[in-house]
Amino acid sequence: MPRVKTPDWVKDAVFYQIFPDRFARSGKVLKPNNLEPWDSLPTPQGYKGGDLYGVIEHLDHIQELGATAIYFTPIFQSACNHRYHTHDYYQVDPLLGGNKAFYALRDEMHRRGMKLVLDGVFNHASRGHIFFNDILENGPHSAWLDWFIVHDWPLTAYSGERPANYEAWVGNRALPKWNTDNPQVREYIMQIAEHWLREGIDGWRLDVPFCVTSPGFWNEFRSRVKAVNPEAYIVGEVWWDSTNYLQGDQFDAVMNYLFTEPVIQFCGQGHLDRSLAISDASYDPYPAIDGEHYAKKIAKALFRYDWEIAQVQLNLLDSHDTARLLSIASGDSATVRLATILLMTAPGAPSVYYGDEIGLPGRVDPDCRRTFPWDKPETWDREALAYHKQLIAIRHAHPALRRGRYQPLHHSPTTYTFGRVLEDDRLLVAVNVGEKAAKIEVPVQDVFAEGTALKAVYGKGSATVEGGLVKLNLPARDGVILTRQA
């Protein structure tokens, strides 16, 4: 038995990330009048009215793309459009259709063989949570007083004249922090996690888990989760080195921004918009780097952890917390294509942020949370949709891309080449981020035998191994994926 065990299904998964308020709006949920127009730009506090029935109506699109799992940002009752301000962990937000919509979505996804991962916001609640609201009503007489960390009275929960006088996430008075040193709070959160697993979810993405510092908390969380479903996926939002969380006793994986950063730096080159690449986010995909630097950074990202962990890392190019890659790259579509080639051929579970597959732009929050333009298909980037489908299909067709050995082979200032090997399934992946075509000679003796004839499954071209080398002609700002001819 390996020392580290991760969910087997994740190694074969392709994720699709959905921000529920912005993905799709059905006609099945009673909606209030004061919603923003669907096609208007998002605002920090406005609602668009997306719901879970809308997701059901567009599962065909997600499956045709090739995604096999969906990660949803929070869906529980809340008083904000992103729902990281949880009011009730046991109720799906009524604007999303409530619990009835969740069960309909769960059943339809599982009927299709798809996995469903929810966002667990367990570091903090909101001012509207009934337990914290009780403190606002009853002050030091509240039964729930020690479920939070109050410093003095009266609470400044809404007044901006003074700082919050209770522990809150990054000082945001709207987000009172749970007192996870309290065993009752700990048990409350564990029971929430167990409940939704029993209700059929396939895993938890954990919001800011590094803020929960109570000893043994995440160890117990893993034990409780795995006791309900040993194959449940636990992925933490940790943007930096996560070695302490990835020893097989806490998380299965993290959102792999250490992968995101060098991929954007290498693929973006002179197209990177510094104002979007450098933000409040805890990653720095700027400035551009050459092939040698990329080779070093990507090796650290992919080989930092146990191989069992590496195969289930949640790899991504952007998310609801970053500007979209297309905008970071100043609208350069080739950057997104190059990065998607690397995303779909690397170890780890690739994740596509909704709309990236049709060229949806977006600067920093809230602009990166635009609505999906279902009613304006003429605005879709059909070329981007086609290559996303093609690359995801190639990943599904080749076990080596999901579970195979990763073998760095060659790099130059503008190119990077690697192999993926699983028994007889062998592939060579090469990208050229330069503005000119490149001719390279790649030593492939660790991947292909002498005389092996190769054909392209992505891009154009063929090659033969001669003298332990493959000679490649790479077009500018594109790549090729080669495998053995039948």
Same domain (yes/no): 353, 479? no
What are the tens digits of pLDDT across the range 75-86?
999 999 999 999
Find the CATH number of the domain harbouring 452. 2.60.40.1180
Same domain (yes/no): 217, 347? yes
What are the tens digits of pLDDT across the range 145-177?
999 999 999 999 998 788 889 999 999 999 999
How far is 255 from 7, CA to CA, in rounded Å?
16
Where a domain ends, among 377, 397, 417? Answer: 397
Same domain (yes/no): 345, 463? no
What are the tens digits of pLDDT across the range 320-358?
999 999 999 999 999 999 999 999 999 999 999 999 999
**pLDDT of 225 over the 60 cut:** yes
Find the CATH number of the domain harbouring 94. 3.20.20.80
**pLDDT of 94 over the 80 cut:** yes
**pLDDT of 12 over the 90 cut:** yes
**pLDDT of 281 over the 80 cut:** no
**pLDDT of 11 over the 80 cut:** yes
Decide if 169 is inside a domain.
no
Percentage of the chain lying above the pLDDT 90 cut? 96
Using the Cα atoms of residue 153, residue 154, residue 157 and residue 159 in order, give the sign of their dihedral.
Answer: negative
Percentage of the chain lying above the pLDDT 70 cut? 100
**Is residue 189 within 8 Å of 122, Cβ to Cβ?**
yes
Decide if 132 is inside a domain.
no
Q: How confident is the model at residue 251 (pLDDT cuts 50, 70, 90)?
A: very high
Decide if 154 is inside a domain.
no
pLDDT at 357: 98
- The domain containing residue 456 runs over which residues? 401-484
Burial call 25-42: b when 16+ CB within 10 Å, e when fewer: bbeebeeeeeebebeeeb
Same domain (yes/no): 291, 320? yes
The overall average pLDDT reported for the chain is 97
Half-sphere exposure (Cβ direction) of 113: Cα atoms closer than 13 Å: 8
Helix H, strand E, coil C: the string for 225-236 is: HHHHCCCCEEEE
pLDDT at 282: 81
Using the Cα atoms of residue 373, residue 377, residue 379 and residue 383 in order, give the sign of their dihedral.
Answer: positive
Same domain (yes/no): 185, 228? yes
**pLDDT of 105 over the 50 cut:** yes
- What DSSP assignment string belongs to 368-433? GGPPP-TT-GGGS-HHHHHHHHHHHHHHHH-HHHHHSEEEEEEE-SSEEEEEEEETTEEEEEEEE-
Same domain (yes/no): 309, 406? no
How far is 365 from 6, CA to CA, in rounded Å?
32
Where a domain ends, among 338, 363, 397? Answer: 397
E strand or H helix that includes residue 262: helix 257-268
What are the tens digits of pLDDT across the range 21-47?
999 999 999 999 999 999 999 999 999
pLDDT at 278: 81
Same domain (yes/no): 354, 410? no
**pLDDT of 276 over the 50 cut:** yes
Decide if 134 is inside a domain.
no
Q: What is the mean pLDDT of residues 47-64?
A: 98
Where a domain ends, among 397, 429, 463? Answer: 397
| Token duo for residue 108 | 């339809």
Domain count of the fold of the chain = 2
What are the tens digits of pLDDT across the range 404-441?
999 999 999 999 999 999 999 999 999 999 999 999 99
How far is 418 from 410, CA to CA, in rounded Å?
7
**Is residue 14 within 8 Å of 395, Cβ to Cβ?**
yes
pLDDT at 2: 56
pLDDT at 461: 87
**pLDDT of 213 over the 60 cut:** yes
The owner of tokens 């506090």 is: 45
**Is residue 450 within 8 Å of 459, Cβ to Cβ?**
no
What residues act catalytically?
Answer: 207, 237
Same domain (yes/no): 392, 422? no
Same domain (yes/no): 410, 391? no
Of the listed ranges 99-108, 156-165, 191-200, the one predicted with least confidence:
156-165
Of the listed ranges 148-162, 198-212, 283-297, 464-478, the one predicted with least confidence:
148-162
pLDDT at 1: 44
- How long a stretch of residues is the chain? 486
What are the tens digits of pLDDT across the range 14-27?
999 999 999 999 99
